[in-house]
Structure 1
Amino acid sequence: MRNAWSTAIGNISVGSVNTVNSLFKSWRKIAPTYTMDLYSLEKFKKYKKDWSYPVNIRYQEPVIQEKEKPCSTFQSAMKATLTIGQFFGLNPVQGIRGNDPAKLRFRLLSWRCAFTAISLMGQFTMAFVLFLSLFKEAASTVDTATTLLFYGFGFTTTILFFRIAIKWPQLSMIIAKGEAADPNTDAKLSRKFNIACAVILSLAFVEHGFSELHGMSIALDCHPEKPLYETFMRGSFAWLFLYIPYNDFVGFLAHFFNIQSTFNWNFTDVFVICMSTYLTARLEQVNQRIIAAKDKNLPSSFWRTMREDYNRTVHLVRQVDKMIGGVVFISFASNLFFVCSQLLHTLAGGIKASPKCRPDLPDDRRFFGGYEHSIYFVYSFLFLVVRSLAVSLTASKVHAASIEPAHALYDVSSANYCVEVERFLDQIHGDTVALSGLQFFHVKRGLILTIAGTIVTYELVLMQFTGVTPSSPDPG
C-alpha cells in the first residue's frame, strides 16, 4: 500500500492543488494514524518517502485557485515604497511596480539611472560649494558644518541605493524562491510597509514645511519690499550664490536638491524599517512552527527540517545585511548626529520668539510671530528621537526573533532530546544573527542605551565647544 501511495504522489506536480487535496482525503481514510505537517507542496514532495516524518495533513476546502490567492510576497509589499523612492532618484530598477520579481531589471542606460546621475551631480555640487565656503568665510559655525554633513549624507545615501539597485533583482529572486518553498503567512506585509512609509514621510514633510516657514518668515521680516522667492533663496543658500550668480532657475534647482536630500535622509529609515519587518516575519514564521511542536513527541527528522528552515532564513538575513549594511550605517550615523545638533539648537535658543529683523516696521509679517525657529527645532528634535527609536526597535527585532527558538528547544523532553536539537541550540547561541552597520555594530536592543549614552556625552562636548551654558543661553 505504501509503494502504491508513493507512486501516486510522486507524479503530483507542484501546482496540482486539487489533486493533492483529493489524495489527502483518501489517505486519511486509508491510514488515519499517519500525520504530516505540510506547509508547502515542495515540502510534501521532498518528504513523501520519509515515513518517520510526522504528517498533519492540511488541505483547503474549497480550493482557491492560485491566481486568486491573496498576495503577500516581498515584491508586492515593497513596490509602493520603492516607487516613491524612485521619484527622488533612489534604487533605479525597472519593473518594481509589478508583482513578478523575474521582470526586475537594472539597466545603466535608462531614464531612471539618468535621473539618479543628475541627482548625484546636484547633491555633490551643493556639498562641494558649501565646503569651499568654509574657506571663504572668516568665521565658520556649527550650522555650516551641520549643513555640509546634511548634503554629504544625502549624496552618500544616493550612492548606496545605486549600489543596492545593481543587486536588487538578484536579491528579489532569492527571496521569491524562498517564498515559493515556504509562502508568507503574514498577509499584512503590504499594509505594514505602506503605513510605515506614509507616516514617516508625512511627518518629514511637516518638518520640512516648518523649516521653509522659518526661512520665509525671515525673508518677509528682513526684506518685505523684495520678491519673496528670491529673498528666500538668497537667505537659504547664501553660500551657493557666493560662487554662482542668482537666477530663479538656479534657485529652483538648489531648492529641489535640498528637498531631495531631506527625503533621502528620511527614506533610509523607511527602508531599514521595511527590510527589518520582513526579515522578522520570516524568522517568526519558523519560530511559530517550532513553538507549536515543543510539547509533542516528534522524531529527529522533524527537528532536522526545522533547523534547515531556520538556516535558510538566517542565510537570507546575512545576504540582506551584506547588501544594505551601508544604508543601516548611514541611517544610525545621521540620526545620531542630527539628534545632537537639534538638541543643541533647542538648548541654545530656548523656546522663545526671535527678535524682529526690522524693528522700524510696525507690522509683524511673520507667520507665528517669531516662534518659527523654536517650533521647527522642537518638532525636528522630537521627530528625530521618535524616528530613531522606531528604526532601532524594529531592526533589533531581527536579533530577538533569531534567538526565540532557543526557549522552545530548552523545553524539549529528555526522551525526545536528540543530536538535531543540540545542533540547533549550538547554532542559535554560537552566532549573532542581526542587521549590522557594515559589521561595525549589530543592531540589538542594548544598542538603544548605548546611543542614548553617546548622545548625552557628545551633547555636553558640543555645549562646551559652542559656549552654551546654563548662565549663557546664547552661543558665545
Structure 2
Amino acid sequence: MMLSIGITTRFNQYNHLFRKIIQNRHNECKPTIWRDLRTHYIQLLELTKFIDSHISGVVLISASHNMLTVLLKCFFAFRPTRIDILDTIYFWFFVVFLITRTFLVLYLPAMINEAACRPLTYIRQIPQDKWNSDMDRLHDIISIEAPSIGFTGKQFFYITKGTILSMIGTIITFEIILLDEIEAHVEGLCASID
C-alpha cells in the first residue's frame, strides 16, 4: 500500500508540473521542456515496472487470499451459527474490516494507473499544430504504455478500477450461486426427512 501511495504521489507531482506548464506557457515552451517531460515520464514508467517486477508475486498472493477470505466470510455471514451478541459483533466487525482492507489494497494500486493516464488528457488540450517531435513522442508513449502501467499479479491481471469492479461482480455472482445451492440442498434435505 505504501509503494502504491509513493508511486501515485510521484505521478501526481508529474501531472501537476505538466498541467502548470500547459496552463502557463504552452505557446512559448522550449523543445527541451517537452524532452525533459518525456524522459521524466519514461523514468516513472521504468520505476513502476521495476517495483512491479519485484512485488507482483506478493500482489497475486495477496489479491487471491483477500478474495478467498472475503468470499468465505460473506458466505458464513448468511449462516445463522453465531451464538451470542459478542460473537455477532466480532464477526460483522471483522467482515467490514476485511472488505475495507481488501478494497484499499486494490484501490491504491489502481490509482497508479489512473495517475499514469492523466497526462494524456493534458497533452490533448494543446492544438496539434503547436506540437513538436518530443510532444508527439510523449503522446505516443503515454497512449501506448499508460493503460498497462501499475501493479500486476505476475502479469495475470493489472490492478485498475475496472479490475476492482470485476472482482466485486465475481464475488457477488459467486455468493448468489452459493446461496442458491445451499437453499436447494436444504430443501432437498428437508424433503428427504419428511
Partner of 2:60: 329
Partners of 1:396 and 1:468 in 2: CA distance: 37
One-letter amino acid matched to 2:90? Y
From 79, 91, 99, the counterpart of 1:348: 79
Partners of 1:278 and 1:314 in 2: CA distance: 13
From 396, 420, 440, the counterpart of 2:110: 396
Partners of 2:177 and 2:133 in 1: CA distance: 54
Asked if structure 2 preserves the Cα contact closer than 8 Å seen for 1:287 and 1:404, the reply is yes
* 2:20 aligned with 1:292: yes
Partners of 2:125 and 2:176 in 1: CA distance: 48
Return the offset for 1:416: 2.8
Partners of 1:330 and 1:468 in 2: CA distance: 32
Identity, % of aligned pairs? 24
For 1:312-369, what per-residue CA distance to the aligned partner results, in whole angstroms no more than 9, with x for missing partners?
A: 111000000000001111111111111110111110127xx52xxxxxxxxxxxxxxx
Return the offset for 1:410: 0.9
One-letter amino acid matched to 1:343? C
Partners of 1:434 and 1:414 in 2: CA distance: 29
Structural mapping, 1:127-142, within 5 Å? none
From 36, 39, 47, the counterpart of 1:305: 36
* 2:11 aligned with 1:280: no
For 1:385-428, what per-residue CA distance to the aligned partner results, in whole angstroms no more than 9, with x for missing partners?
A: 11111122211010001011111111223453111111111111
Partner of 2:192: none
One-letter amino acid matched to 1:422? D
Partner of 1:458: 174
One-letter amino acid matched to 1:327? V
Asked if structure 2 preserves the Cα contact closer than 8 Å seen for 1:298 and 1:416, the reply is no
Partner of 2:153: 437
Matched pairs, number: 182
Asked if structure 2 preserves the Cα contact closer than 8 Å seen for 1:396 and 1:443, the reply is yes
Partners of 1:436 and 1:454 in 2: CA distance: 18
* 2:144 aligned with 1:416: no
* 2:49 aligned with 1:318: yes
Partners of 2:170 and 2:176 in 1: CA distance: 10
Partners of 1:345 and 1:468 in 2: CA distance: 14
What is the TM-score when the length of structure 1 is the normalising length? 0.36
Structural mapping, 1:32-431, within 5 Å? 273-295=1-23, 296=25, 297-349=28-80, 354=83, 370-431=84-145
Partner of 1:257: none
One-letter amino acid matched to 2:176? L
Partners of 1:338 and 1:455 in 2: CA distance: 11
Secondary structure in structure 2 of the residue aligned to 1:437:
coil
Structure 1: gaps of 5 or more residues: 1-272, 355-369
From 427, 432, 449, the counterpart of 2:165: 449
CA RMSD after TM alignment: 2.0
One-letter amino acid matched to 1:377? F
Return the offset for 1:373: 3.0
- As a proportion of its length, which structure holds more helix? 2
Runs of 4+ off more than 6 Å: none
One-letter amino acid matched to 2:93? Y
Secondary structure in structure 1 of the residue aligned to 2:156:
coil
Asked if structure 2 preserves the Cα contact closer than 8 Å seen for 1:328 and 1:437, the reply is yes
Partner of 1:364: none
Secondary structure in structure 1 of the residue aligned to 2:60:
helix
What is the TM-score when the length of structure 2 is the normalising length? 0.86
Partners of 1:449 and 1:331 in 2: CA distance: 17
Q: Select the structure with the greater relative contact order (CA < 8 A; seq sep ≥ 6).
A: 2
Return the offset for 1:449: 1.1
One-letter amino acid matched to 1:449? L
Return the offset for 1:468: 4.7
Structure 2: gaps of 5 or more residues: 188-194
